[in-house]
Chain A
Amino acid sequence: MRFRRWMWLIVVALVLPALPVRAGPAGLTFTIGVDQEVVGLDPNLVTAFSSFRRIDFLYNKLVRYNDRLEIEPDLAESWEFPDPRTVVFRLRRGVKFHSGAEMTAEDVKFTLERVLNPETRSPGRSFIDVITAIETPDRYTVRLKMQFPLASLLSGLASANLSIVERAAVQRFGNLQRNVAGTGPFMMAEWVPDNFMRLAKNPNYFRRGMPRFDTLIIRVIPDQASLLAGVRTRSLDMATINQGSVITAARRESGLTVMQKAGLNLRIFAFNTTRPPFTDPRVRYAFSFAIDRNAIVNTAEFGYAAVSGPVPASTPWATPAAQFTSYRQNVERARQLLAEAGHPRGFTTRIVTSPTYEGGIAVAQVIQEQLRAIGVTATLENIEWGTYINRWVARDFDTMIELRGGDPDPDRFLYRTFHSTGAVNNFLFKDATIDRLLERGRVNLDPDRRKPIYVELEKALIEAAPALFLYTPMETQVLQGYVRGFKIIGNGALYFLEEAVAER
């Protein structure tokens, strides 16, 4: 008698998972999986990459990148440079914020001033701090005056930190971490932190006919294998994956599309140029000859990356990596350089790394092995992420594996990283020639005159070697086969989801 009750329990237990989950909201729904939750939603304040991708759905900027990484109009329908220090934007008319109010030049002026205000502590400030005056001659025109010509200005304005916010909303709420006041294709409907976010279609979105579905659900699933399982079972329509092993598993499945595009993040091996023996540029340059970048790509990223110089290989500004002499592994030359610098028998050193993706432990292990050939014994300091950041901020390292966020415009990434006054120059690197090249590169608006400067700059950076430039990982999205129309961009942004449709 009791036994039969147990039997029933077991039967129910086995049948339970197969029952259908409750029906979702009415209309077309698209579900994407991400592995990190956002901390806040205020575009001018957030720092994390995961937050940028979320903000893309809720806000627009003056300009944005298309899938070929070219600047295209977003809220500004056209712009011109009457002189190198002035730019005039003409805004689209009739664009509405989610509240229903119209977006005008006043909101643009407010947003830019907010970002420029040091008290806001906006990460986007350094992208546009060259602006000295913001004028609004009429309701749909914004004129910016700059201290000196800045070639990367448009690129800075295309950053998610420069999304245009509604002045009235900021004045009402103080900040927009919990309240959305944008013009974007989706509006906030429901947010259960660490679980999911539900966005509803913006019926007044200025791009007619978009987005093509009514509800966007963003689910947070921290484990990449579980993300893939979600796509496999159709509980997710799309997921962002960056672990090489999971990408390989996804490619083997029929019915799934794996979209990949060359990315903009740059993996580097950083030196603290104030710590011997790395005070000598010959030692640093020797390391460049000692390592085999292709082996690193194949081991750490399963081949899903492109070997790169200081300018991300995916951008038109980059010199093809094959042209760099030190990129061909040459252990003899490396040994020779070390001997010249006074270390014929090598030395010992330490590499700081972390188990997170940014910390690149796999890269550290490969490099550690490769350095043995030139007599360098490297010990790995594998530390937890918070401790890693602490060491980074304190510049307390000999060498370090890092992942830097690049940009389609070479100036925005290179200047702050390698100029002697650069804020994220944690190599403590000072080189007058490179400083001058960086300064010249940013003020020349003409691409034909800019390109040779950056060719020279890349060469100089590789030889001076404040860091070894390794590779740019690919951006990867795994989608159901029935998803059409999505365009993947190298900077990982997802705003082209507004054009996608799921033909189930």
Chain B
Amino acid sequence: MQRYLAARLLALIPVLLGILAVVFLLIRLIPGDAVQLFLGTQVEMTPQQMAELRRFFGIDKPIPQQFLDYLGRILRGDLGVSLRTSRPVLGDILQRLPLSFQLASFALIVAMAIAVPLGIASAVTRNSTFDVLARVGGLLGLSMPNFWLGAMLILVFSRYLHVSFGQYVPLTQNPLGTLQSLYLPALALGAAIAAILMRYVRSSLLEVLGQEYIRTARGKGLRGTVVILRHALPNALIPVITVLGFQMGYLLGGTVIIEEIFALPGMGRLALQAIFQRDYPVVQGVVLVIALLFVMTNLVVDMLYAWIDPRIRYG
């Protein structure tokens, strides 16, 4: 197990290096640079002044040189400073990471809360009207864009229910405030994920329910609910956990539009604004951190398998 873990962690390095190199190059290939965007169209500056600003930002050197400088800094734990705000990149990311993480977790909890009961009921009452309705509902949830759902939720809650979405409050300050500000966005995000998960729960559970040991359990006289929840469900959940792991990774950086609509200062918005403003250090830093989190999440998921299913062993 230890060797497996070490091997996985070691494999991280080439992956992150590759991602970093691609992002580094791509963001610099897009037309427009940080200086031009900083000035916009209303400000006058001589070419010499602009060249000086470029030198100040460190973006006048050849790209390979910039990359090596950057790698050197990363190895010392320094992700650089934002070209636009001069704030340390790592600080900005660490400030926004809790929100993204909380939102992602909350969305997944909402998704599970909807998907698992519905999936179970759907599997157990297979091909009944309820099952069909649940599957159609799942398809609808899958097809609805989450930003549309978010905007609709805001409209319904603000116009008809007169309930506002508050500004984001960190967990350490006021947990209730955090829950309130993340409630609607988590619902918007969770709906589509619930749809995906529900189908997995249903099909996985159906497969497990057809196995021999379930018949044995029933034959022993155990109640139906106990059979399903205690004996069948844990095994059915293994593929679901895989999906959860991937979803977590996507949610950590992919909630940009929801963050825009609900005014949440998360990592998605940080990355998007940095790309628009050609704020290279911020883009590189955020992508690096998200990639790291994605890979770590999947590693955790793989570890979880070994814990849930004693038959799985890593050499």
Binding site for B on A (CB under 8 A): 2, 6, 9-10, 13, 16-19, 21-22, 39-40, 47-48, 118, 121, 123, 126, 177, 192-196, 219-223, 225-226, 229-230, 232-235, 358, 384-387, 389-393, 402, 404-405, 416, 423-424, 426
Residue among B45, B85, B166 making CB contact with A39, cutoff 8 Å = B85
Q: In whole Å, how far is A257's beta carbon from the nearest beta carbon of chain B?
A: 18
Residues from chain A with Cβ under 8 Å of B30 in the complex: 386-387
What 7 pairs between A and B have smallest CB-CB spacing?
Answer: A423-B44, A233-B164, A390-B32, A386-B32, A194-B265, A221-B263, A229-B158
- Assess the A193–B85 pair: CB atoms within 8 A: yes
User: Could you list some 28 contacts between A and B, CB below 8 A?
Assistant: A2-B229, A9-B113, A17-B163, A17-B184, A21-B169, A21-B180, A22-B176, A47-B39, A121-B49, A192-B265, A193-B87, A194-B269, A195-B263, A195-B265, A222-B263, A223-B260, A225-B151, A229-B165, A230-B165, A384-B276, A386-B31, A387-B30, A389-B32, A389-B41, A393-B36, A402-B41, A423-B44, A424-B44
Given A2-B229, A40-B85, A121-B53, decide whether A405 and B263 contact each other with a Cβ distance below 8 A.
no
User: Which residue from chain A places its CB closest to the CB of B277 in the assembled complex?
Assistant: A386
Given A18-B163, A424-B41, decide whether A390 and B183 contact each other with a Cβ distance below 8 A.
no
Q: In whole Å, how far is A352's beta carbon from the nearest beta carbon of chain B?
A: 12
- Assess the A219–B263 pair: CB atoms within 8 A: yes
- Assess the A121–B45 pair: CB atoms within 8 A: yes
- Assess the B174–A232 pair: CB atoms within 8 A: no
Cα of A16 to Cα of B31 in the assembled complex, Å: 46
- Assess the A196–B167 pair: CB atoms within 8 A: yes
Residue among B40, B87, B262 making CB contact with A48, cutoff 8 Å = B40
Residue among B92, B159, B180 making CB contact with A19, cutoff 8 Å = B180
Given A2-B229, A21-B177, A233-B164, decide whether A404 and B42 contact each other with a Cβ distance below 8 A.
yes
Cα of A9 to Cα of B116 in the assembled complex, Å: 14
Cα of A384 to Cα of B31 in the assembled complex, Å: 10
Residues from chain A with Cβ under 8 Å of B44 in the complex: 123, 126, 416, 423-424
User: Which residue from chain A places its CB closest to the CB of B86 in the assembled complex?
Assistant: A177
Tell me whether B155 is interfacial, beta carbon within 8 Å.
yes
Cα of A17 to Cα of B262 in the assembled complex, Å: 14
User: Which residue from chain B places its CB closest to the CB of A192 in the assembled complex?
Assistant: B265
Most chain B CB inside 10 Å of its own CB: which residue of A6, A126, A223, A426 = A223
Residues from chain A with Cβ under 8 Å of B92 in the complex: 193
- Assess the A16–B277 pair: CB atoms within 8 A: no
Most chain A CB inside 10 Å of its own CB: which residue of B32, B87, B176, B270 = B32
Cα of A18 to Cα of B179 in the assembled complex, Å: 12
Residue among A6, A196, A234 making CB contact with B164, cutoff 8 Å = A234
Q: In whole Å, how far is B107's beta carbon from the nearest beta carbon of chain A?
A: 13
Q: In whole Å, how far is A120's beta carbon from the nearest beta carbon of chain B?
A: 11
Binding site for A on B (CB under 8 A): 30-33, 36-45, 49, 53, 84-87, 92, 110, 113, 117, 151, 154-155, 157-159, 161-169, 174, 176-177, 179-180, 183-184, 225, 229, 260-263, 265, 269-270, 276-278
Cα of A27 to Cα of B134 in the assembled complex, Å: 51
- Assess the B154–A229 pair: CB atoms within 8 A: yes
- Assess the B117–A6 pair: CB atoms within 8 A: yes
Residues from chain B with Cβ under 8 Å of A194 in the complex: 265, 269-270
Cα of A221 to Cα of B261 in the assembled complex, Å: 8
Q: In whole Å, how far is A116's beta carbon from the nearest beta carbon of chain B?
A: 14
Given A194-B265, A226-B263, decide whether A386 and B157 contact each other with a Cβ distance below 8 A.
no
Residues from chain B with Cβ under 8 Å of A192 in the complex: 265
User: Which residue from chain A places its CB closest to the CB of B278 in the assembled complex?
Assistant: A386
Cα of A294 to Cα of B158 in the assembled complex, Å: 35
Residues from chain A with Cβ under 8 Å of B261 in the complex: 223, 225-226
Most chain A CB inside 10 Å of its own CB: which residue of B30, B44, B151, B183 = B44
Cα of A9 to Cα of B229 in the assembled complex, Å: 18
User: Which residue from chain B places its CB closest to the CB of A422 in the assembled complex?
Assistant: B44
User: Which residue from chain B places its CB closest to the CB of A393 in the assembled complex?
Assistant: B36
Residues from chain B with Cβ under 8 Å of A10 in the complex: 113
Q: In whole Å, how far is B247's beta carbon from the nearest beta carbon of chain A?
A: 20
Cα of A402 to Cα of B31 in the assembled complex, Å: 19
Residue among A234, A385, A424 making CB contact with B42, cutoff 8 Å = A424
Q: In whole Å, how far is A22's beta carbon from the nearest beta carbon of chain B?
A: 5
- Assess the B37–A386 pair: CB atoms within 8 A: yes
Q: In whole Å, how far is A159's beta carbon from the nearest beta carbon of chain B?
A: 11
Most chain B CB inside 10 Å of its own CB: which residue of A193, A233, A391 = A233
Residues from chain B with Cβ under 8 Å of A393 in the complex: 36
- Assess the B176–A19 pair: CB atoms within 8 A: yes
Most chain B CB inside 10 Å of its own CB: which residue of A21, A234, A392, A423 = A21
- Assess the B183–A17 pair: CB atoms within 8 A: yes
- Assess the B31–A387 pair: CB atoms within 8 A: yes
Q: In whole Å, how far is A250's beta carbon from the nearest beta carbon of chain B?
A: 12
